[in-house]
Chains A and B, each alone.
Chain A
Amino acid sequence: MKFFEFFSFTDPNIRYVVVGSILMTVCSAVVGCFTFLRKRALIGDAVAHSVLPGVCLSFLLTGEKNPFILLIGAFITGGLSIFLVEYITTKTKLKEDSAIGIVLSVFFGIGILLLTAIQHGGNANQSGLDSFLFGKAASILPEDLYSFGLVGIILLIGVFFFFKEFTLISFDRNFAEAIGLPVKILEFMLTSITVLAVVTGIQAVGVVLMAAMLITPAAAARYWTHNLTIMMLVAAMMGAVSGIFGAYISYLAPSMPTGPWIVMVISMIAIVSFAFAPVKGVFARLRKQIKNQKQITDENILKLFFQLGEKDQDFFTARSITSLLERRSMRKDLLKNGLARLTDQGFLSKTKDHWKFTEAGKVKGQRVARLHRLWELYLTQYLQLAPDHVHDDAETIEHIITPELEAKILEQLKYPEVDPHDTKIPYKDF
């Protein structure tokens, strides 16, 4: 029942929380795509941790928890952290990862020191500052929503209008510079937008896990598409889903911390993407690998039948596994599987424990042998390689050459008779 209560959105509090969570997660997911592509994912982590001392300092200076004032403090120290990481990296022999680690841990240490000092200081106003640590999506108030909504909208508008420029500096900074874009200003803008996104998102997931809201949706979305616009939309959607879910969890169980649940959901989405995304996912890639492996085995077996046929001057002799292995060493189980597959596909026919070519099988075996020999000849003629150095390369390329490429090679070599080892190159009308 709680499910309908929540998802009917009749309760205004639920509306605030849901809108707030979506806004925060979407903003960071969109900006995260740029930081991801610029390979600066962990900078977001440094910014997130560095926001804490800024928040504490603005509270110490003003004595109140006005979200705008806290935001300004957060923005200043967050921005400072990016500057410092770059400064340390350029001025010393320390590498970027060390610089990030230094800035992150020291700023966070200062933040914790200030936060605990404020807590022990007895200012009654301070309660709730610590929600910056783990996020508080569940207790978003209308006034929070206005300030963060404004920041979020500024941010999204900025990304919308400078989409092309940001994309260019993310992918090819040198090119952007060469065509005369103001790269420094654009980078500064992108950095400011990143800081803004972090400062907003922190309200939802907290300092420690903010990095996930920048990195994880972008990383997951990257597995589904090559197009940056689509990647951004996908990342934003994934972010939104995790935001809604986080809000729902904290509605069901108020004692649950919202931030970690949001991160948990987005991480699950990412893990599923890494594993199952078509083309780029681990399983898709594995399947492709196995398919290629099978194709190579099959073609090698057909080539083997053809070579044995050449030797015996008879292409249609039935051959046993042992006689095949005498000519070419292969793993026996792979050979058996390959033979079974080829028989199924009609390239070989089987009688008892012997296999022999069919007409189609001979044509295919002949083609593989031809490609091998053509490539060997090509390498010796055009790359001046010694004839005893070309076999291994031909062994690989024979499975890859397309009919179009074959025609081109034939033309260039002027339909040669023999390969570098003086073996005849077999043609179709052989």
Chain B
Amino acid sequence: MSSFWIILTGALVAVTCSLLGCYLILRRMAMVGDAISHAVLPGIVLAFLISGSRQTIPMLLGAGILGILTTFLIEFLHKKARLQEDASIGVTFTWLFALGVILISVFANKVDIDQECVLYGEIAYVPLNVWITDTGTNLGPQAIWIMGSILVLVLIMIFTSYKELLVTTFDPSYAAAIGFSTALWHYILMSMVSLATVASFESVGAILVVAFLIVPAATAYLLTDRFELMLVLAAVFGILSSVLGYLLASQIDGSIAGAMATMTGLIFVLAFIFSPRYGILRKKNEADKTGMIIEESKV
């Protein structure tokens, strides 16, 4: 049963992140997602210190605030201080992440988060932390409920605002012309990324969540030009990586989250080579064909 819970958690994290990742990739904001996933750390620690426990709501709140702050800081450094964009991303997230790790060490006796957990989470402990109601009913692991709610939120966002998100992603100037606020949707999306990151934090850690944010979406992007299909494919690859990752981790007795990230990479490599439309094999074939045609026309 515990394997089931672990795989389910992984799958929930994967689906939530891959869906958001599709937008990040198309908006060329993959590294902003990476930055947010690092930078929520001080928010989590502060929420922990203030609330005194690992309660979900304060943590989500703390991380959400930090996520928006990160987005804001990157924009501020880029626009107002005129720092080039890649450097503003780099400076912002390393600084906030360093702050988070320092806070953890300073309040080591008060904060029950260790540094390794920050990096790759403790998905193996997910089944131990169950939610038992006042009447004593066992509702299963808490992480499932938290991740599930975030996923529902993301799905609601995508279904109700599909058009707005799509237009602001693909054609910001047209979006502005027909009255959608690109800034608003930018911040909404970034808050969702922060929420997803922090909810995934305990299970897969701050760094490996990046693998789920970017890689399945990128894989799907190599396979299709239709956005709806890209969302579905990304989710499928996310689930597949979490199942295969769990199997791999139990084979070689390593970090489950690490193995899941490895699997997202493996699936990406397969798509990269064999994608019917954009794979490198296909391109090679085409090049050979063109070469042959040229040869023939010479004859």
Q: Is B264 an interface residue (CB 8 A)?
A: yes
Contacts A208-B38, A209-B94 given; does A134 touch B258 at CB 8 Å: no
Among listed B1-9, B28-36, B48-56, B161-169, interface-contacting one: B28-36
Q: Does A264 contact B (CB under 8 A)?
A: yes
The answer to whether B90 and A117 touch across the interface, beta carbons within 8 angstroms, is: no
Number of interface residues of B (CB under 8 A): 62
B260 to chain A, nearest CB (A): 7
Cβ B254 vs Cβ A116 within 8 A:
yes
- Is residue B95 within 8 Å, beta carbon to beta carbon, of the partner chain? yes
Contact stretch, chosen from A106-114, A183-191, A304-312: A106-114
Contacts of B260 in A (CB 8 A): 109
Inter-subunit contact B28/A97 (CB<8 Å): yes
Contact of B101 among A88, A104, A134, A215 (CB under 8 A): A134
Question: Looking at chain B's contact residues, is the secondary structure mostly helix, strand, loop, or mixed?
Answer: helix
Q: Within the assembled complex, what's the spacing in Å between the Cα atoms of A100 and B30?
A: 9
A58-95 CB mask vs B (1 if < 8 Å, else 0) is 00000000000000000000000000000010011111
A19 to B252, alpha carbons, bound, how many Å?
40
**B86 A133 Cβ-Cβ under 8 A:** no
Question: Which residue from B91, B95, B211, B283 sits with its C-beta under 8 Å from A91?
Answer: B283
- Specify which of B31, B99, B207, B259 is in contact with A208 (CB 8 Å cutoff): B207
Separation in Å of the A242 CB from the closest CB of chain B?
11
Closest to B268 in A: A102
Beta-carbon contact of B105 and A257 below 8 Å:
yes
Verify if A152 is at the interface (C-beta below 8 Å from B).
no
* Pair B86/A39 contact, Cβ less than 8 Å: yes
Complex: A215 Cα to B91 Cα, angstroms: 7
Q: How far, in whole Å, are A263 and B262 apart by their CA atoms in the complex?
A: 28
Cα distance A44–B218 in the bound complex, in angstroms: 21
The B65-107 residues at the A interface (CB cut-off 8 A) are: 77, 80-84, 86-87, 89-91, 94-95, 97-99, 101-102, 105-106
B38 contact set on A, CB distance < 8 A: 208
When C-beta atoms are compared, the residue in chain A nearest to B266 turns out to be: A106
Distance A109 CA – B256 CA, assembled complex (angstroms): 10
* A20: Cβ under 8 A from any B Cβ: no
How far apart are the CA atoms of A109 and B29 in the complex, in Å?
A: 21
CA distance A106 to B33 in the complex (A): 15
Determine the chain B residues whose CB is within 8 A of the CB of A281 once the complex forms: 81
Within 8 A of A (CB), among B196-235: 207-208, 210-211, 213-215, 218, 221-222
Would you call B101 and A257 a contact (CB within 8 A)? yes
Are A109 and B262 in contact (CB-based, < 8 A)? yes
B108 within 8 A of A: yes
Interface status of A377 (Cβ within 8 A of chain B): no
Task: Tell me the bound Cα distance from A371 to B157 in angstroms.
Answer: 56
Docked pose: A49 CA to B119 CA in angstroms: 11
Query: Which of A39, A102, A259, A280 meets B84, CB within 8 Å?
Result: A39
A42 to chain B, nearest CB (A): 5
Tell me if A211 counts as interface (CB < 8 A to partner B): yes
A274 interface residue, CB < 8 Å from B?
A: yes
8 Å CB contact of B264 from A109, A219, A257, A282: A109
Most chain A CB atoms below 10 A, which of B86, B213, B253, B260? B86
Given contacts A97-B30, A113-B258, A212-B90, contact A264 B105 (CB under 8 A): no
Asked whether A109 lies within 8 Å of B265 as measured between CB atoms, the reply is yes
> A133 to B210, Cβ gap below 8 A?
no
Quick one: given A104-B34, A110-B262, A113-B252, are A274 and B94 in contact (CB under 8 Å)?
no
Residues on A with beta carbons closer than 8 Å to the beta carbon of B208: 105, 108-109, 112
Interface string of A190-234 (1 = CB under 8 A from B): 000000000000000000110110111011000000000000000
Q: Given known contacts A102-B218, A108-B208, is B262 in contact with A215 (CB within 8 Å)?
A: no
Closest CB in chain B relative to A247 CB, distance in Å: 15
A120 within 8 A of B: yes
* Structural contact, B91 and A270, CB atoms closer than 8 A: yes
Chain A residue numbers with a CB within 8 Å of B94 are 209, 211-212, 215-216, 263, 267
Please measure, in the bound complex, the distance between the C-alpha atom of A307 and the C-alpha atom of B8, giving whole angstroms.
Answer: 78
Residue A419 lies at the interface, judged by CB distance under 8 Å to chain B:
no
CB–CB A274/B83 < 8 A: yes
Q: How far is the CB of B70 from chain A (nearest CB, A)?
A: 13
A271→B96 CA distance, assembly (Å): 12
Chain B residues near A112: list those with CB within 8 A. 119-120, 207-208, 254-255, 257-258, 261
For B88, give the chain A residue with the smallest CB separation: A219
Asked if B189 lies at the interface with its beta carbon under 8 angstroms from chain A, I say no
B196 to chain A, nearest CB (A): 15
A253 to B70, CA, bound (A): 29
In the complex, the chain A residue whose C-beta lies closest to that of B96 is A267
Q: Which residue of A lies closest to B31 (CB)?
A: A97
Confirm or deny: A41 has a beta carbon within 8 angstroms of a beta carbon on chain B. Answer: yes
Residue from the list A111, A115, A133, A259 in contact with B98, Cβ < 8 A: A259
Check if A111 sits within 8 Å of B278, measured CB to CB.
Answer: no
B280 within 8 A of partner (CB): yes
Report the Cα distance A88→B218, complex, angstroms: 11
- List CB contacts (< 8 Å) of A250-285 with chain B: 255-257, 259-261, 263-264, 267, 270-271, 274-275, 280-282, 285
A45: CB under 8 A from chain B?
yes
Residues of A within 8 A of B296 (CB): none
Contact B255 A116 (CB under 8 A): yes
Q: Which of B86, B221, B253, B261 is within 8 Å of A120, CB to CB?
A: B253
- With contacts A111-B258, A112-B119, A274-B81 known, is A98 near B253, CB below 8 A? no
Query: Considering only CB atoms, which chain B residue lies closest to A133 in the complex?
Result: B119
Closest Cβ of chain A to B247, distance in Å, is 13
- Chain A positions within 8 Å of B173 at CB level: none
Smallest CB gap from B251: residue in A: A117
Q: Does B290 lie at the interface of the complex (its beta carbon under 8 Å from any beta carbon of A)?
A: no
Nearest 10 CB-CB pairings of A with B = A109-B261, A106-B265, A212-B94, A112-B258, A113-B258, A117-B254, A105-B211, A267-B95, A215-B90, A263-B98
10 contacts between A and B (CB under 8 A): A93-B278, A97-B29, A101-B214, A109-B259, A112-B261, A133-B116, A211-B94, A212-B98, A215-B94, A219-B90
